[in-house]
């Protein structure tokens, strides 16, 4: 099981400082959608250059023009690129084709997918690398989480790795780990803590123990 640090509310220098603090405890660093909107793919490039031993995920949440966007994120140094599960089949297949060409991986974010079981089974046939259940900030604000959804994808996904994101904290991590996802994605559960290093270290310990 791997641990991904999601960076959403920072600029590039803040991102670098944060990663430096916790780099020994994380496997993947995510350049979140708001960071890409604010800073562009330069954020991916600069983090990859500063931390070549970490995998970098570009959270583009692609919806269209998938092949082109995967190519651009790959050129910037991303190892993993996200596309939405709600995108057209053609777009997801296009993303996979380009990622394979570039030697990169595709994570499908199932945020806002209504029939999760059906769509997860479909997407799992397209050769994607990860399928991720995700409760975004807007639903976290009304008390939702993705723990049940994780069990659903664990049951139906046969090929891709499974991942979970959205509001995971140290206190809720054991419940997540029980469902055995391949990848746990944590933003505020680390970045919002006074002692980020200690939070990341404890999370890494739990994730490694599985």
Interface residue list for ligand 5RP (CB under 6 A): 6, 8, 30, 32-33, 59, 136-137, 165-168, 185-189
Q: Judged by CB, which is closer to ligand 5RP: 119, or 134?
A: 134
Instruction: Determine the residue with CB nearest ligand 5RP.
Output: 187
Q: Phi and psi dihedrals of 172, rounded to 5?
A: -95, -10
CA dihedral 172, 23, 8, 43 (to 10 degrees): -160
Choice between 41 and 185, CB closer to ligand 5RP: 185
Write down the least CB distance from residue 33 to ligand 5RP, Å: 6
Q: Smaller CB distance to ligand 5RP: residue 125 or 195? A: 195
Residue closer to ligand 5RP, measured from CB, 95 or 203:
203
Give min distance, CB of 187 to ligand 5RP, in A: 3
Whole-number Å distance between alpha carbons of 8 and 137? 11
Bridge pairing between strands 80-84 and 105-109: parallel
What residues contact residue 135 under an 8 Å CB cut-off, 6+ apart?
A: 111, 144, 145, 146, 149, 165, 166, 167
Both tokens of 44, joined, read 């991916």
CB of 175 to ligand 5RP, least distance (A): 14
Minimum distance, C-beta of residue 112 to ligand 5RP, in the bound complex (Å): 11
């Amino acid at each position: 099981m791997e641990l991904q640090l999601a960076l959403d509310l920072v600029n590039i220098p803040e991102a670098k400082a944060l990663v430096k603090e916790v780099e020994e405890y994380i496997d993947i660093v995510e350049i979140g959608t708001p960071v890409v909107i604010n800073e562009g793919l330069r954020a991916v490039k600069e983090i990859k250059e500063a931390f070549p031993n970490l995998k970098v995920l570009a959270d583009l949440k692609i919806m269209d023009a998938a092949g082109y966007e995967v190519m651009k994120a790959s050129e910037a140094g991303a190892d993993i690129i996200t596309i939405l599960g709600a995108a057209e089949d053609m777009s997801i297949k296009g993303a996979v084709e380009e990622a394979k060409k570039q030697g990169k991986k595709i994570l499908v974010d199932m945020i806002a997918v209504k029939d999760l079981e059906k769509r997860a089974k479909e997407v799992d046939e397209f050769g994607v690398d990860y399928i991720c259940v995700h409760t975004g900030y807007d639903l976290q604000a009304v008390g939702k989480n993705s723990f049940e959804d994780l069990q659903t994808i664990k049951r139906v996904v046969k090929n891709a790795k499974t991942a979970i994101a959205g509001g995971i904290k140290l206190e809720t991590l054991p419940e997540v780990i029980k469902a055995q996802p391949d990848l746990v994605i944590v933003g505020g559960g680390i970045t919002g803590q006074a002692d980020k290093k200690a939070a990341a270290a404890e999370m890494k310990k739990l994730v490694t123990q599985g």
